[in-house]
Amino acid sequence: MNEKKEFKIEKTKLLIVEGEDERRFFNRWFIELNIEDLQVLPIGGKTKLPSELKILKKLPNFSTVQSIGILSDADDDAAAAFQSVCSALENNNLDIPQKEITKTTGNQSIAVLIFPGNGLPGSLENIFLDSEKNNPVMDCVDNYFECIKEKQRALPHAIGKAKVHTFLA
């Protein structure tokens, strides 16, 4: 979502995600699951959540939204990520869930999930990498990043995302 884009609410269920990679992933997954009543909204990074919620609330049809899911990466601290989402909700006068994966009971139910879940650090990419850990191609991916580390002594900050992109390439 971005003020510069022409954006409209098209469905009564919204899933707010960090970026375009997550949007593509969930849109594809929902096609596979035959879920058609959910709109995935990328916000351009978790730090933009407070301002993007403010914009979202001003959009036509916001009052027709029945439920909102917010997905965010834990990165280094799942508890801090959950608290950050809750602060963004509070700052925009939206209901705040008591804990992860628990819906609020207001006119718009709101739920928050922090990836990879269970209070662990990481991201959506970590879930993908864990699901492919027995795939022999992962040895190639790991060897590639070991070589990069050896030659350059620095790895990308978002190593999980880099590994997923390498695996998919």
3-state SS, one letter per residue, for the chain: CCCCCCCCCCCCEEEEECCHHHHHHHHHHHHHCCCCCEEEEECCCHHHHHHHHHHHHHCCCHHHCCEEEEEEECECCHHHHHHHHHHHHHHCCCCCCCCCCCCCCCCCEEEEEEECCCCCCECHHHHHHHHCCCCCHHHHHHHHHHHHHHHHCCCCCCHHHHHHHHHHC
Q: Which of 4-13, 42-51, 152-161 has the lowest mean pLDDT?
A: 4-13
pLDDT, tens digit (0-9, with 9 covering 90-100), for 107-146: 899 999 999 999 999 999 999 999 999 999 999 999 999 9
pLDDT digits 0-9 by tens, 77-110: 999 999 999 999 999 999 999 999 999 998 899 9
Predicted confidence band at 6 (pLDDT cuts at 50, 70, 90)?
Answer: low
Query: What integer pLDDT is reported at residue 75 of this predicted model?
Result: 92
